[in-house]
Amino acid sequence: MRAQDLIQRKRDGDELEPEELAALVAGYTSGEVPDYQMAAFCMAVFFRGMSDAETAAFTRAMLHSGDVLDLSDIPGPKVDKHSTGGVGDKVSLALAPLAAACGVKVPMISGRGLGHTGGTLDKLEAIPGFQVRLPVERFREILASVGACLIGQTERLAPADRKLYALRDVTATVESIPLIAGSILSKKLAEGIDALVLDVKVGQGAFMRKTEDARKLAEALAGIGRATGKRVVALLTAMDEPLGLAIGNALEVVEAVEVLRGGGPEDLRELTVALTSEMVLAAGLAGGHPEARRMVLGAIADGSGLARLKEIVRAQGGDPRAVDDPSLLPRAASTLTVTAPRAGLVQAVDARALGLAAMTLGAGRTRVEDPVDPAAGIVLRRKTGDYVEEGEPLCVLHLGARGAAPPRLVAERARAAFQLGTVPASPRRLVLERIA
């Protein structure tokens, strides 16, 4: 079959057969189908969409474009968590060791930050010596012995998605639910997991700004999971303001450790417990949500979650002393406090604006190959609902060595992200919906 025929049929709204989609993906992976034809296909999908059957078949084709890990010889249920990306989202750093402490095996393949959203790999690499590029055999060894291992995507796991992800980024076809769903699940199912918990962000700082769009994506992901014999549970969570107080890699490591010690910001702690509880439940280790939550809170209270993080760090080449001593993490040479221009109640905090401000300080990147400064970032001193006097701190900039803009300019951008007023802000629930 010719690629141009499949492109034309999808352009005209036809439904493609599973074997046709498999041939297209295989041809693209091998190089037989060039980028320009796959770009045309993606644009056709962007406008015409895909049926549930097509999306499932497309996902399976990308999944089987490379290796699929077989972890059946490792005892215990294998469950992973994926977030669609947000500002200050360091949940995985606390969630993986907590879930492992509760008996879940967590084979987590994560990504890097891009644009205004952070990436788990960048945060982990802020820990001195931590290795995110490991051979598959070492990944399996750590998973079996420690219970969790967090690495980047390997060359042989879902290679079609790796090529397609880069292509979609430069052809304005990122915002397509079938393509997003296929991208997420092809990588995650290649890990050899039994179940997957999704954190689908909604709001100003999220990829999906409207609840209905996030719901469609979550339902598509859950549907593909069912079609491939895996259980997929999704939580729709608010991302209008940053999660927690810290934005930036080393800063977020410190905050995640605070959660494992039983502290940390309330919203970060709440979401970490909620998502980890879903993992325990999906693993079949608890009879219901109340029991799963008790198990997770117990792993925080008895210190087993924190101890498991140190084991993960040690196993992956990092310095476990950095978990207890934040001074061993990268630190900014200087800071700049951003103050309130007038007194008032914080009505809103623009997560996207602060994420972009942190990126210009050096905490993020505009291209995947760009370096990041692990010490750079922002720490909030006020959030929605807080009162602030004129001249009091709104946030503190941790200045990176490779900032792309003058600090004073970034400070003005950060100040503009805080909306002040006289009327108390209406509270918004953190977990909006659960879809299974």
Q: How far apart are CA 298 and CA 186, in angstroms?
A: 33
224 in the same domain as 344: no
Shared-domain flag, residues 258 and 406: no
Q: Do 220 and 108 fall within a single domain?
A: yes
Query: What pLDDT is recorded for position 374?
Result: 95
Give the per-residue pLDDT at 157: 84
Q: Give yes or no for a contact between 232 and 200, defined as CB atoms under 8 angstroms apart.
A: no
The yes-or-no answer on residue 82 being catalytic is yes
Last residue of a domain, one of 277, 297, 324: 324
Active-site option among 80, 89, 122, 161? 161
Known catalytic membership, residue 187? yes
Among the listed residues 187, 188, 352, 383, the single catalytic one is 187
Mean pLDDT of each 10-residue bin along the chain, 436 residues long? 94 97 96 96 96 93 92 95 93 98 95 78 96 94 97 86 85 89 89 94 89 92 86 95 97 98 97 98 97 98 98 98 96 96 97 94 80 94 97 96 83 97 88 94
In this predicted structure, what is the pLDDT of residue 368?
67
Question: Domain limits at 404?
Answer: 330-421
Contact between residue 201 and residue 430 where contact means Cβ atoms under 8 Å apart: no
- Alpha-carbon dihedral of residues 133, 138, 141, 146, nearest 10 degrees? -30
Q: How many domains does the chain have?
A: 3
Residue 335 and residue 319 share a domain: no
pTM of this prediction? 0.92
- In a domain? residue 436: no
Q: What are phi and psi of 128, to 5 degrees?
A: -50, 125
> Using an 8 Å Cβ cutoff, are 414 and 337 in contact?
no
pLDDT at site 111: 81
User: Is residue 290 located within the same domain as residue 389?
Assistant: no
* Position 89 in a domain: yes
277 is catalytic: no
Distance of alpha carbon 223 from its chain centroid, rounded?
20
* Catalytic residue of the set 83, 183, 186, 277: 183
β-strands 106-110, 148-152 pairing = parallel
Q: Could you say which of 60, 64, 78, 82 is catalytic?
A: 82
Active-site entry in 105, 162, 168, 352: 168
183 an active-site residue? yes
408 and 379, same domain (yes or no)? yes
Q: Are residues 358 and 284 in the same domain?
A: no
Residues in the chain: 436
Residue 197 and residue 87 in one domain: yes
Looking at residue 38, which CATH number applies to its domain?
1.20.970.10
Tell me, what CATH number does 104's domain have? 3.40.1030.10
- 144 and 209 both lie in a single domain: yes
**Distance (Å, rounded) from C-alpha 258 to C-alpha 264?**
5
Residue 8 lies in a domain: yes
Domain presence at residue 382: yes
Helix (H, G, I), strand (E, B) or coil at 110: strand
- Identify whether 240 is a catalytic site residue: no
Residue 431 resides in a domain = no
